[in-house]
């Protein structure tokens, strides 16, 4: 079949391409470094300085003038349904998989894939395959083993073996608590999964966390508190998400971080009726205003996840789909409200990297991966570099996945 006219470039591998010298950007690493030049080489950040010398003509390379722009680490989204979520109202409600450009347009250079309610027709094997595919397309991609349910669906038959032997798998998720769609786990069941995740993570030098889907149930975070009370597991193992889905749960999350846990707010689509929930920007506003530790907060998009609304009988009465772009939209909204970029940026970058033990991600420093986002004057995405390759340039998508097509 002939190539489609106007189709984007497809990247068959993650080759870093030319040397890149980025000139004169206001750099946030995420701490502010002032106006700097940044040199990228072999998919890494090679140097950051007030002024770097020009590239020698004998070296293949490019210089880019970024004066007047802000340069930040690539965003890390720790919760995306890479092969699609949904299915709670039958096969026709299965959400399609996520394409590369859907992530890059959101400034996401590192992504973690999850399964949701459906661990039956969607499998960990499918998720791992899509994760590896995104790596081939130029993104940094990881995933969790498991889904909402217990026993935990795995690839090898064991949580520990999945962590030790399957490279992209870095933890368990999203295991559901306080939700009518969960397996209604007991304390002992949660502790067994968390112990396997923790020890498997130690053996594989990975995060080994349990990423917990939190529902609207009245039990809230009670099971997590009891797990901390009755076990020796470190608090960092438990990472509850969707904690902004109602105000009661958000208040519980604020108390939980005092015990050493990190919690995650979800960037719900802005057109959704918030009801008792908090939009991500509102939740982060409130978190900062209450003096809660920003270092314990992360934000994710729930991209390609189905966001159903249930009635009192458990029937779906409305449905929306999460979009990766809500992650960058939340950052833009926070900047529009006057928040300091250096304060809120870690919620989307270094906090996530630290929790997931991705030491080469989330910061702009020599030796780190060359994952960078260029922000315009209004905080919108103007450029995205993933592992040294431009995916978005001048606000336009220049690289996409093999099955994506140009809109023209």
Residues with Cβ within 8 Å of residue 375, at least 6 apart in sequence: 69, 70, 71, 72, 381, 382
CA 321, 323, 328 angle in degrees (round to 5)? 150
Is 80 exceeded by the pLDDT of residue 380?
yes
Is the Cβ–Cβ distance between 401 and 137 less than 8 Å?
yes
Q: Are residues 300 and 388 in the same domain?
A: no
Q: Are residues 239 and 196 in the same domain?
A: yes
Helix (H) or strand (E) holding 251: helix 247-256
Q: Are residues 212 and 287 in the same domain?
A: yes
Q: Do the domain assignments include residue 360? A: no
Q: What is the CATH number of the domain that holds 110?
A: 3.20.20.140
Cα dihedral angle (249, 252, 257, 261), rounded to 10 degrees?
-60
Per-residue pLDDT at 138 = 95
Give the model confidence (pLDDT) of 51-65 as tens digits.
999 998 888 889 999
Q: Are residues 282 and 392 in the same domain?
A: no
Task: Look at 36-45, 84-93, 206-215 and tell me which has the smallest mean pLDDT.
Answer: 84-93
Q: How many CB atoms lie within 10 A of CB 162?
A: 29
- Tell me the mean pLDDT in the region 255-271: 93
Number of domains comprising the chain:
2
Q: Are residues 52 and 103 in the same domain?
A: no
Cα dihedral angle (114, 347, 180, 81), rounded to 10 degrees?
-20
Q: Do the domain assignments include residue 2? A: no
Q: Do the domain assignments include residue 262? A: yes
Q: Do the domain assignments include residue 146? A: yes
Per-residue pLDDT at 12 = 41
Give the model confidence (pLDDT) of 292-318 as tens digits.
999 999 999 999 876 655 556 566 555
Q: Are residues 104 and 159 in the same domain?
A: yes
Per-residue pLDDT at 403 = 86
Q: Are residues 81 and 58 in the same domain?
A: no
Q: What is the CATH number of the domain that holds 48?
A: 2.30.40.10
Of all residues in the chain, the percent with pLDDT exceeding 70 is 89
Per-residue pLDDT at 59 = 84
Number of H helices, E strands in the chain: 10, 21
- Tell me the mean pLDDT in the region 388-393: 96
Q: Do the domain assignments include residue 364? A: no
Is 60 exceeded by the pLDDT of residue 3?
no
Enclosing domain of residue 95: 73-355
Q: Are residues 49 and 196 in the same domain?
A: no
Q: Are residues 44 and 188 in the same domain?
A: no
Q: Do the domain assignments include residue 406? A: no
Q: Do the domain assignments include residue 223? A: yes
Q: Are residues 221 and 280 in the same domain?
A: yes
Which string of b and e fits 93-120 if b means at least 16 CB within 10 Å? bbbebbbbbbbbbbbbbbbbbbbbbbbe
Per-residue pLDDT at 316 = 59
Q: Do the domain assignments include residue 214? A: yes
The helix-helix angle for 280-289 and 325-336 (nearest 10°) equals 50
Give yes or no: 188 in active site.
no
Per-residue pLDDT at 1 = 34
Q: How would residue 93 be classed by pLDDT, with cut points 50, 70 and 90?
A: confident
Q: How would residue 77 be classed by pLDDT, with cut points 50, 70 and 90?
A: very high
Q: Are residues 188 and 325 in the same domain?
A: yes
Q: Are residues 247 and 339 in the same domain?
A: yes
Residues with Cβ within 8 Å of residue 87, at least 6 apart in sequence: 93, 94, 117, 118, 121, 122, 306
Of all residues in the chain, the percent with pLDDT exceeding 90 is 80
From 162, 302, 329, 369, the catalytic residue: 302
């Amino acid at each position: 079949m002939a190539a489609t006219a106007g189709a984007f470039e497809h990247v068959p591998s993650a080759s870093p391409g030319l040397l890149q010298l980025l000139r004169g950007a206001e750099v946030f690493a995420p701490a502010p470094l002032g106006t700097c030049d940044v040199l990228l080489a072999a998919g890494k950040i090679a140097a950051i300085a007030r002024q770097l010398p020009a590239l020698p003509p004998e070296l293949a390379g490019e210089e880019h003038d970024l004066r007047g722009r802000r340069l930040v680490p690539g965003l890390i989204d720790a919760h995306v349904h890479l092969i699609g979520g949904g299915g709670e109202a039958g096969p026709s409600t299965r959400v399609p998989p996520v394409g590369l450009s859907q992530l890059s347009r959101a400034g996401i250079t590192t992504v973690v894939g999850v399964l949701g309610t459906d661990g039956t027709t969607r499998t960990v094997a499918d998720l791992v395959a899509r994760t590896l595919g995104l790596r081939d397309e130029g993104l940094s991609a990881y995933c969790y083993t498991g889904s909402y349910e217990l026993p935990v669906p795995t690839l090898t038959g064991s949580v520990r073996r999945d962590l030790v032997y399957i490279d992209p798998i870095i933890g368990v998720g999203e295991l559901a608590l306080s939700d009518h769609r969960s397996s209604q786990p007991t304390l002992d069941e949660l502790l067994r999964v968390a112990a396997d995740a923790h020890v498997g993570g130690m053996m594989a030098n990975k995060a080994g966390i349990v990423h917990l889907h939190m529902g609207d149930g009245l039990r809230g975070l009670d099971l997590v508190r009891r797990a901390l009370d009755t076990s020796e597991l470190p608090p960092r193992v438990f990472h509850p998400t969707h904690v902004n889905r109602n105000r009661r749960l958000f208040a519980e999350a604020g108390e939980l971080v005092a015990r050493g846990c990190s919690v995650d707010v979800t960037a719900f689509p802005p057109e959704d009726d918030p009801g008792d929930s908090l939009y991500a920007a509102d939740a982060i506003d409130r978190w900062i205003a209450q003096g809660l530790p920003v270092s314990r907060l992360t934000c994710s998009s729930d991209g390609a996840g189905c966001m159903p609304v249930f009635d009192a009988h458990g029937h779906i009465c409305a449905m929306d789909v999460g979009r990766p772009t809500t992650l960058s939209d939340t950052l833009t909204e926070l900047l529009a409200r006057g928040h300091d970029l250096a304060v809120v940026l870690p919620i989307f970058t270094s906090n996530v990297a630290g929790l997931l033990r991705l030491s080469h991600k989330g910061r702009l420093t020599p030796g780190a991966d060359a994952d960078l986002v260029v922000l315009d004057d209004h905080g919108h995405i103007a450029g995205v570099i993933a592992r040294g390759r431009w995916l978005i340039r001048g606000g336009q998508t220049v690289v996409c996945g093999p099955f994506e097509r140009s809109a023209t």
